[in-house]
Structure 1
Amino acid sequence: MDASRSRTRTHARRPVVSGWACWVSPVCSLGLVAGCSASGSSGGEAATRQAAQPAAVAQADDLENAYQRVIKDVLPSVVQIQTGSELGSGVVYDDKGHIVTNAHVVGDTRTFQVTTANSRDALAATLVYSYPEQDLAVIRLDRPPSGLRPATFGDSAKVEVGQIVLAMGSPLGLSSSVTQGIVSATGRTVSEGSEGGGTGATIANMVQTSAAINPGNSGGALVNLDGQVIGIPTLAATDPGLGDSAAPGIGFAIPASMVRTVADQIVKDGRVTDSGRAALGITGRTYADAEFRPAGVAVVEVRDGGAADKAGIEVGDVITGLGDTVITTMTSLAEALAEARPGERTTVTLTRDGGQQTVEVTLGEQ
């Protein structure tokens, strides 16, 4: 999937509920129907099937109990955030009232109304800091209630494809909603759109999941069956072939390790002091060739003392490669940088005055 086709699923407007129609799918029994057997099958085979029934039912009960235990433990840590007429989700980070969410959920707002699991009325909250580059933000309750339950964040390195996960939040304003799926992939680099309130950020190492991520889920929790938050649901893929409507079962969450890194700095220092994100120190635009095809990034500004400036990159150069990665658009450059680290030495391939050259660069920090 082309990551540039992903877009942010922003906070949702409060829905007008009138005449809800619920579509309920039938529940399929995991046990075999008593007395059904193939013609001529031996009594031993029938007995084996009958013996398997209790085991299958027990496994189903165990899984159901695991779901319910996790929901009971974690859902109280997931809150609803209201910014004017729109809604999003957040996760209680500590008992001092800090709540982590998406930057695109808070937008330009500085004060919020937050509904927690143990509050009958909405509580006032204030923005601590928003970091759009990683689409994360921290807000703080003005008067944290007693019994506030912080979530437990897991180890991103232990997240594996195939793990069962639950997404918790307020999709379409329906608070305390839960969907389920699996971890579909890890290590995805995804670029948000800037439309619909998105930050336009390029985020590395995201967790891909089949759990439904809908407007309003942003900022909530993606949770494993150990009751640990392994990510913050942020994006859902869109399919241009379907008119940019959501592609079912393809959602993305910011990994818990990055959430902790950013949130810890914001809680301690009131801002992000060490982004861990590599930068060239330029302002650029996508360059199109004579046939109007994306062919690189044209440099329109070079930051004094930045990585590009030190490497001799100039305004007017067209960057066509970073290391072994071919660069054709601003998005492809952002994705390549998202997978690098500050201080890393690499090469930049560029064209200048009709000729191609390669320069060595030590990447800076965003």
Structure 2
Amino acid sequence: MDASRTRARLCLPLAALVCSASLIAGCSSGSGSSPAQDGTTTQAAVPAAANDLQDDYLKVIKDVLPSVVQIQARTDLGSGVVYDDKGHIVTNAHVVGDEKTFKVTTANSEDEQTATLVYAYPEQDLAVIKLDKVPDGLKAASFGDSSKVEVGQIVLAMGSPLGLSSSVTQGIVSATGRTVSEGSSGGGTGATIANMVQTSAAINPGNSGGALVDLDGRVIGIPTLAATDPTLGAGTAPGIGFAIPASMVTKVADQIIKDGRVTDSGRAALGITARTVVDDDYQAAGVAVVEVKSGGAADKAGIEPGDIITKVGDTGITTITSLSEALAAEKPGDKVAVTYTRAGTEKTVDVTLGEQ
């Protein structure tokens, strides 16, 4: 698996600002005891830069935190983001689970509101619920353009980690365009999600479904999971969290609110049911086709039950997860070469991908 694909479960730039201030202060020339030489300007610039950054933090938190809620299902606790003034709230599918009704606590009130599931879409780990009664002062969040998110950008994660409602952590965008596969155990949906935003902001249990926010107060992603470190057993790797990009969140939420379901997923599919197979050494060696959807992409390309897929494009396929990750990088309508074996003979066909 390459570095851009991560399997997972569920430095502030202040120094740079100070450095810049110091360099500017030291650029003036001439003799005598100028403000630049005696350090007066430099000393004043340091707290000014820090205060400006702190003011940015405080403004964003004041503006956005009222739009982040705590969601209590029967057995799970998570977060959500107010999507519109009609009481729709977007969250993770793994937060709602199989539940249909929920208790919701907003940031500016301890009174519990009731909410009902509109639709859950586990394939992208997103869901929308709706408050049964919209309370006064409910504020919808503003969603940004996740295609403009840059590595190094300061971000804040808002949610209810470990049940601590209205909590805020800070970090930076560590990477973009990550393809991440959730585990299906421990409450995950087993989804493979493309174009995720990686962040160093702490993502803890309960943060799922909350808001990853830039310093302009725009939600750029929905925190969903943290990477696991095999050396820590079931523990998470500190400082490596992932958020579903805002562009996908709004695409899915808009469809759910309008149609009650997802009508255009944008997710490529072969149209098969499959399972991982192992070789004589019990190592994962490919994906066996169990069932082919009639009229689907694989069916049209001549792929049959019993075929073992070993490659999509130039990507080797050994497991269901690796197949999902390969397809996550493609779009419906794309044509890809699929290599498979049938009765010991290797074949390659061009497949025009369908939609999941």
Once residues 349 and 86 of structure 1 are traced to their aligned partners in structure 2, the CA distance between those partners, rounded to angstroms, is 42
Aligned-pair identity in percent equals 74
Counterpart of 1:229 (choices 210, 216, 219) is 219
Q: How does 1:251-266 map to 2 (within 5 A)?
A: 251-266=241-256
Quote how far apart the aligned CAs of 1:116 are.
1.1
C-alpha distance after superposition, 1:157-216 (max 9, x if no partner): 110000000000000000000000000000000000001110000000000000000000
Aligned to 1:205: 195
- Tell me, what secondary structure is at the counterpart of 2:289? strand
Q: CA deviation at 1:43?
A: 7.2
Number of residue-to-residue matches in the alignment = 336
Give the CA deviation at 1:244: 3.1
TM-score (norm 1): 0.89
- Within 5 Å, give how 1:283-294 maps onto structure 2: 283-294=273-284
Runs of 5+ consecutive residues of structure 1 not aligned to the other structure: 9-27, 32-41
Residue 296 in structure 1 maps to residue 286 in structure 2: yes
- What's the offset of the Cα at 1:248? 0.3
Cα separation, 1, equivalents of 2:98 and 2:225: 19
Contact 1:5 1:240 in 2 (8 A): no
Q: CA deviation at 1:117?
A: 2.5
SS of residue paired to 1:333: helix
Q: Indicate the residue corresponding to 1:157 in structure 2.
A: 147
Q: Please tell me whether residue 218 in structure 1 is matched to residue 208 in structure 2.
A: yes
Residue 13 of structure 2 is aligned to residue 6 of structure 1: no
Secondary structure class of the residue paired with 1:212? coil
Equivalent AA in structure 2 for residue 168 of structure 1: M
Q: Which amino acid aligns with 2:246?
A: A
Q: TM-score with structure 2 length normalisation?
A: 0.91
- Counterpart amino acid of residue 190 in structure 2: G
TM-superposition CA deviations, 1:60-111 (whole Å, max 9, x none): 0000000000000000000000012431000000000000000000000000
SS in 2 for 1:257: helix
C-alpha displacement of 1:51: 2.5
Inter-partner Cα distance in structure 1 for 2:124 and 2:278: 28
- Contact 1:4–1:331 (CA under 8 A) maintained in structure 2: no
1:325 aligns with 2:327: no
Contact 1:128 1:266 in 2 (8 A): yes
Deviation at 1:262, TM superposition (A): 0.1
Contact between 2:72 and 2:103, CA under 8 Å: does it hold in 1? yes
Structure 1 residue 270, shift from structure 2 partner: 0.6
Q: Secondary structure at the match of 1:237?
A: strand
Partner residue in 2 for 1:268: 258
Q: CA deviation at 1:283?
A: 1.0
- Among 64, 67, 76, the residue aligned to 2:54: 64
What's the RMSD between the two structures over aligned residues?
1.8
Q: Please report how far the alpha carbon of residue 345 of structure 1 lies from its aligned counterpart in structure 2 after TM superposition.
A: 1.1
Supply the distance in 2 between the matched residues of 1:172 and 1:291 (Cα, whole angstroms): 42
Looking at structure 2, the residues matched to 279 and 355 of structure 1 have their Cα atoms a distance apart, in angstroms, of 24
Asked whether the 8 Å contact 2:60–2:215 carries over to 1, the reply is yes
**Distance in 2 (alpha carbons) for counterparts of 1:334 and 1:292:** 21
- 1:115 counterpart = 2:127: no
- Write out the 4+ residue segments of structure 1 that deviate beyond 3 Å after TM superposition: 1-5, 42-50
Q: CA deviation at 1:263?
A: 0.1
Provide the residue aligned with 1:248 in structure 2: 238
Change (3 A) 1:235 1:207: same
What is the CA deviation profile of residues 255-290 of structure 1, one whole-angstrom value per residue up to 9, with x for unaligned ones?
000000000000101110111100001111112111
Amino acid at match of 1:359: V
Partner of 2:168: 178
CA shift at 1:328, angstroms? 1.3
CA contact (8 A) 1:118 1:148 kept: no
Q: Secondary structure at the match of 2:266?
A: coil
> Counterpart amino acid of 2:210?
G
Partner residue, 1:20: none
- Provide the residue aligned with 2:349 in structure 1: 359
Counterpart Cα distance in 2 of 1:46 and 1:160: 34
Q: Tell me by how many angstroms 1:46 deviates.
A: 8.7
Structure 2 counterpart of 1:289, one-letter code = D
Deviation of the 1:327 alpha carbon: 1.0
1:126-174 CA distances to partner (integer Å, 9 max, x unpaired)? 0000000000000000001121100000001110000000000000000
Shift of 1:3: 4.4
Q: What are the superposed Cα offsets for residues 39-73 of structure 1, whole Å, 9 maximum, x if unpaired?
A: xxx97799453421110110000000000000000
SS in 1 for 2:151: coil
Structure 2 unaligned spans of 5+: 20-31
Q: Write out aligned runs for 1:83-94 (5 A).
A: 83-94=73-84
Question: What corresponds to 1:36 in structure 2?
Answer: none
**Residue matched to 2:71:** 81
> How far apart are the structure 2 equivalents of 1:49 and 1:166?
34
